[in-house]
Amino acid sequence: MIGLELETVELEVTDRVAWITLNRPEALNAWTRRLGQDMLTALEHAAAEPLIRAVVFTGAGRAFSSGADLKAAGEVQPGADGGTDVEGLLRDVHHPLILRVRTVPKPVIAAVNGPAVGIGCSLALACDLVLACESAYFLLAFVNIGLGLDGGASMLVPARVGHARAFEMAYLGERLPAARALEWGLVNRVLADGEFAPAVRALAVRLAAGPPGSYAAIKRTINQGLYERFEEVLSLEARLQQERVESKDFGEGVAAFAQKRSPEFTGE
């Protein structure tokens, strides 16, 4: 596969488009350390190859991504104090990918073929254009287990839908169906499930045939206007997420989720 050692991602290049498919369908494409590394490796290949003119992220199976998989063996390394080092995982693996999606000087499309949850939602929104099938939904589920935002969601969401709707998504932790996401301006297009794949391909091929220099210039200026402090925000998210993971509320949130009951948060 293009000489790359990828375990959790499929990379296909056709018609000058790099198709990066998250390939953990049995786990609804939940993020692991290896998935983050593989996605970045595939993206850097696409960035470095002049013949590749556009990039598409999508998911294998019925989900785009269900968010972080903190249950995966060896997923989170112990911190200096023996605790869970989520800050390191975000800082060293996941956030560099999100940042690169925003800065790679080529058009990047999110083809959201199913649920986009947590950092999976962040990945979709980091892309330049977001296409969703009718059955997809978007969910910032962090608050449901006592976490803050990560993956750049605290900047990516308000950049698309504004202050009020960003807080609604983040505070309520409710599913946002694709049709409502389109109404809010969170996504660019919603397509019938049966029309989704050909429509994504047509748009990707169109972008790949366009002027690379123009796209690079446009992305750079939009980034300057909307995402100038993106690295700083990613760093803050990682630091605050570490605090949340060490809280009793996070433990209660995870336990309640596993037991299929409502959590009882205490603020500890």
In a domain, 100, yes or no: yes
**Is 249 one of the catalytic residues?**
no
Q: What is the pTM of this model?
A: 0.94
In a domain, 4, yes or no: no
In a domain, 158, yes or no: yes
Residue in this structure with the two tokens 């940042």, named with its chain if needed: 99
Q: pLDDT of 34-62, one tens digit each? A: 999 999 999 999 999 999 999 999 999 99
pLDDT(79) > 60? no
**For residue 84, what pLDDT band results from cuts at 50, 70 and 90?**
confident
In a domain, 151, yes or no: yes
Q: pLDDT of 217-251, one tens digit each? A: 999 999 999 999 999 999 999 999 999 999 999 99
Please tell me the distance from the alpha carbon of residue 201 to that of residue 206, in angstroms, as a whole number.
8
CA nearest 61: which of 153, 133, 150?
133
In a domain, 268, yes or no: no
pLDDT at 3: 73
Burial of 179 (C-beta count, 10 Å sphere; 0-12/13-18/19+): middle
**For residue 76, what pLDDT band results from cuts at 50, 70 and 90?**
very low
Other Cβ atoms less than 10 A from the Cβ of 4: the count is 12
In a domain, 124, yes or no: yes
pLDDT(203) > 90? yes
Domain assignment of residue 125, given as a range: 9-194+211-259
**Rounded average pLDDT over 187-196:** 97
In 3-state terms, what secondary structure has residue 6? Answer: coil
Kindly give, in sequence order, each residue whose CB lies less than 8 Å from that of residue 81, ignoring residues fewer than 6 positions away.
Answer: none
In 3-state terms, what secondary structure has residue 26? Answer: helix
Please tell me the distance from the alpha carbon of residue 66 to that of residue 121, in angstroms, as a whole number.
8
In a domain, 114, yes or no: yes
CATH of the domain at 183: 3.90.226.10
Q: pLDDT of 97-112, one tens digit each? A: 999 999 999 999 999 9
Residue in this structure with the two tokens 């999976």, named with its chain if needed: 120
Please tell me the distance from the alpha carbon of residue 112 to that of residue 130, in angstroms, as a whole number.
7
Question: 30 and 66 in contact (C-beta within 8 Å)?
Answer: yes
Average pLDDT, the chain: 94
In a domain, 267, yes or no: no
Residue of 94, 150, 193, 249 with catalytic role: 150
Q: pLDDT of 131-157, one tens digit each? A: 999 999 999 999 999 999 999 999 999
Say what percent of the chain tops pLDDT 90. Answer: 91
pLDDT at 71: 67
pLDDT at 83: 62
Counted domains in the chain: 1
Residue of 38, 69, 94, 95 with catalytic role: 95
pLDDT at 259: 93
**Is 193 one of the catalytic residues?**
no
DSSP letter string, 160-176: HH-HHHHHHHHHH---E
